[in-house]
Structure 1
Amino acid sequence: MIPIEEARQLVLRHTGLLGSEDVPLLQGLGRVVAEDVVAPWNIPLTDSSAMDGYAFSASAGHGKCLRVVGFLPAGERRDIPLAAGEAVRIMTGAPLPPGCDTVVPIEEVEETVEGIRLRGEAKAGTHVRKAGDDVRSGDYVIEAGTTLRPQEIGLLASLGKVSVSVYGVPSVAIIATGDELVESDTQPVPGKTINSNSLSLAAQVLACGGRPHILGIAADERKTVCEKIDEALQYDVIITTGGVSVGDRDHVKEAIQSLGGKIVFWKVHMKPGKPVAFALLKGKPVFALPGNPVSAMVAGELFVRPALLTMRGVRNVSRPVVKATASEGFRNAGERPHVVFVSAALNEGKYVVGATGRQSSSRLSSMTAGNGYVQLSPGACLEAGDVVDVTLMDIATDRRMDNAAP
């Protein structure tokens, strides 16, 4: 068995970026930019008004009456310079006419028969958006490796972009193995188990931006497993679940090798999920995960997720880790590091964490009741009140004390 972090690094060492492609701008949301984006022009293009008001030169002076010589709505411009003592009525976003350097809001002037009179002192540059104040021509506005959010989409649109170059999305084949499995639309009978792993793993793939392809169930015989894995080679990544331990009907490792694959590692020093294997088959990464539901999802979280994110061009593949105070004791009496699922809740700005009940490799409810996990070293014994590192898996559903799981 190898340590968790060593296994993770081996996975990342054998995982490369996918190629890039141009996609319509809106389809780039959530994708990773493959090349630097340089601004072709200033934003704003010219000095413009930040308010509805009057534009003029500040040198006109305080208290003087200014003659209004026109109206300038957004979307239009005036190329005729204003003379000293003149002003133009202007709307937000309209470009300042030549000779203007200041805008005064409508409510800060007094209208007179002659024009307008300033109620206060006018300082040059007031309520003016300078050309290039947001973005200057030639600026690197978005770096390669940036994940596109709505705000980046808006910025690219303001630069006239209708498409964007992004890294590819990994296609992932998912194969379940086991004679005991039936699909989820089947009423199980004693001795049979619904194939939930394919759906939970597919959801994990979707959650980190991949495209899952569920290939069904392979019977516990080497020929069938080989055929399924061979079929899966049309995709970028292969995930199998079950059949990777040492039983008489565990054929996955041998099937990979018979097809010309190389086992990079098998068995990781952790609980749950020990009998996980990682292989390379015709240049494709293959993750052979255990059959127990929690074990499969733990292995998916620790090894598959960072690989898929890396292939998509994501630079930081780590989950956020926070300090939390244990609300109860935690103990690992075993000889392997234990991934314990927990519910972390904010209480007066600080995290409090408790376990999600009995931890078992087959008990998915230990995961559904929580939003993160704690990794306990062999022999670790934490008391209530101790501070522990918690890896948060669900930031969007960050819990509060009033809705935390019991």
Structure 2
Amino acid sequence: VQAASCQTGARLRVVGEQPAGADRGLTIGAGEAIRIFTGAPLPAGADAVVMQEDVKRTGDSIEVECAVEPGEFIRRRGADLAEGQKILGRGEPVAAQTMALLAAQGLVEIEVGGVARVAIVSTGDELVPAGTTPRAGQIFESNALMLRALALGAGVEVPLVEHCPDDLERMTELFRRGMESDALIVSGGVSVGDHDFVKPALRALGAEIDLWRVAIKPGKPFLFGRAGGCAIFGLPGNPVSAFVTFLKFVRPALRKMSGAADENLGLRQVSACLAKEVENDGDRPHYLRGKLQDGVFNISGLQESHALFGLSRANALLRVGSGEKFPAGALVSVELWD
């Protein structure tokens, strides 16, 4: 319709119909209306659309039952996206809604970052696979499964997941296979014990070890090195320590390998109200695990490096620096992994 013809009670003559799809090239003048369907092109001469619920039709005419303003229910070309506008940048994630945006521009394909391949090896004589019967002094192995899920969540492929006992020869051969990937993640065996064979096995394969300790809690034993084109990450054997060091050090590296921009490497940070007072009287920053719900952050269970139950109830990390204290009710920044 033309808005100027649409005072309340005005009668307009219906002169045509424009369905969604091909433009029929229709035109209207003063005192006329064209029935139009959602998504259809606007007829020439029209400057507004009236909902059919707001008119009464009798034969070939309608009576307008409300005031109409120019531009009502019209989607203007360029209102959402203008010609020449940047819609996706290098290193940005391609989500479901991004794919819809690209398809809406008629794009068939785009160039994306490569998918990194990651090998995962857990170590230790004290670990046995689920489904078997542990002997005295043994526990079920859980890190490999957890790390595989975390790696897949970071957008990489995981072609190898193995457990290796504390045997230098077997470990060396397994690491050799793992180094065929872009990254090798090893859990356990990176400390200084007599039966920690990870570093000797890596050195036997010519790996260069850049560091083997970091100043965070949990997760002090942490190794990083390289062997050719393979990045090597040695994580602590305690599962919570392995989880935290993966999120803080391994995940950003894997995302970088996959082409993510620097601003998209870390976990999402949000503000939260602290439910209870927390204090760190240690000499390392402490990453507390907790549950963020309805804007409030609660510490989850035991904050110890073996305590998987508390970790399983958590969805966020809170960094508390050495000597730092936050009172209950304080506004803090937490990092979400869910």
**Pair 1:238-2:184 in alignment:** yes
**In 1, distance between residues paired with 2:71 and 2:170?**
75
**In 2, distance between residues paired with 1:344 and 1:125?**
44
**In 2, distance between residues paired with 1:258 and 1:377?**
38
Aligned residue for 1:375, secondary structure, equals strand
Alignment partner of 1:367 out of 308, 311, 315: 311
When residues 277 and 90 of structure 1 are mapped into structure 2, their CA distance, relative to the original with a 3 A threshold, is: same
**In 2, distance between residues paired with 1:116 and 1:200?**
65
**In 2, distance between residues paired with 1:105 and 1:331?**
60
When residues 366 and 122 of structure 1 are mapped into structure 2, their CA distance, relative to the original with a 3 A threshold, is: closer
Alignment partner of 1:325 out of 266, 274, 286: 274
When residues 343 and 76 of structure 1 are mapped into structure 2, their CA distance, relative to the original with a 3 A threshold, is: closer
Alignment partner of 2:284 out of 336, 342, 355: 336
CA contact (8 A) 1:326 1:388 kept: no
Deviates more, 1:72-81 or 1:197-206: 72-81
When residues 180 and 161 of structure 1 are mapped into structure 2, their CA distance, relative to the original with a 3 A threshold, is: same
Q: Give aligned-pair identity as a percent.
A: 37
Provide the residue aligned with 2:220 in structure 1.
274
Q: CA deviation at 1:134?
A: 2.6
> Counterpart amino acid of 2:296?
Y
Deviates more, 1:163-172 or 1:294-303: 163-172
**TM-score w.r.t. structure 2 length?**
0.86
When residues 115 and 239 of structure 1 are mapped into structure 2, their CA distance, relative to the original with a 3 A threshold, is: same
Q: CA deviation at 1:83?
A: 4.6
**In 2, distance between residues paired with 1:64 and 1:141?**
44
Computed over aligned residues only, the root mean square deviation of the Cα atoms, in angstroms, reads 2.7
CA contact (8 A) 1:265 1:277 kept: yes
Deviates more, 1:185-194 or 1:283-292: 185-194
Give the total of aligned pairs: 334
**In 2, distance between residues paired with 1:278 and 1:306?**
14
Gaps of 5+ in 2: none
Provide the residue aligned with 1:171 in structure 2.
117
Q: CA deviation at 1:265?
A: 1.1
Aligned residue for 1:163, secondary structure, equals coil
TM alignment of 1:169-248, pairs within 5 A: 169-248=115-194
> Counterpart amino acid of 1:269?
A
> Counterpart amino acid of 1:133?
A
CA contact (8 A) 1:202 1:213 kept: no
CA contact (8 A) 1:65 1:114 kept: no
CA contact (8 A) 1:58 1:123 kept: yes
> Counterpart amino acid of 2:121?
I
> Counterpart amino acid of 2:336?
M
**Pair 1:147-2:93 in alignment:** yes
Q: Deviations over 1:128-155 (max 9, x none)?
A: 2223333233332223333223322222
**TM-score w.r.t. structure 1 length?**
0.73
Provide the residue aligned with 2:300 in structure 1.
356
**In 2, distance between residues paired with 1:167 and 1:73?**
42
Q: CA deviation at 1:261?
A: 1.6
Q: Deviations over 1:258-281 (max 9, x none)?
A: 222211111112222211110011
Provide the residue aligned with 1:16 in structure 2.
none
Q: CA deviation at 1:391?
A: 2.4
When residues 160 and 182 of structure 1 are mapped into structure 2, their CA distance, relative to the original with a 3 A threshold, is: same
When residues 301 and 114 of structure 1 are mapped into structure 2, their CA distance, relative to the original with a 3 A threshold, is: closer
**In 1, distance between residues paired with 2:220 and 2:281?**
16
Q: Deviations over 1:322-345 (max 9, x none)?
A: 3433424x3444333333323444
When residues 307 and 77 of structure 1 are mapped into structure 2, their CA distance, relative to the original with a 3 A threshold, is: same
> Counterpart amino acid of 2:314?
G
Alignment partner of 2:320 out of 373, 376, 379: 376
Gaps of 5+ in 1: 1-54, 396-406
Alignment partner of 2:240 out of 272, 291, 294: 294
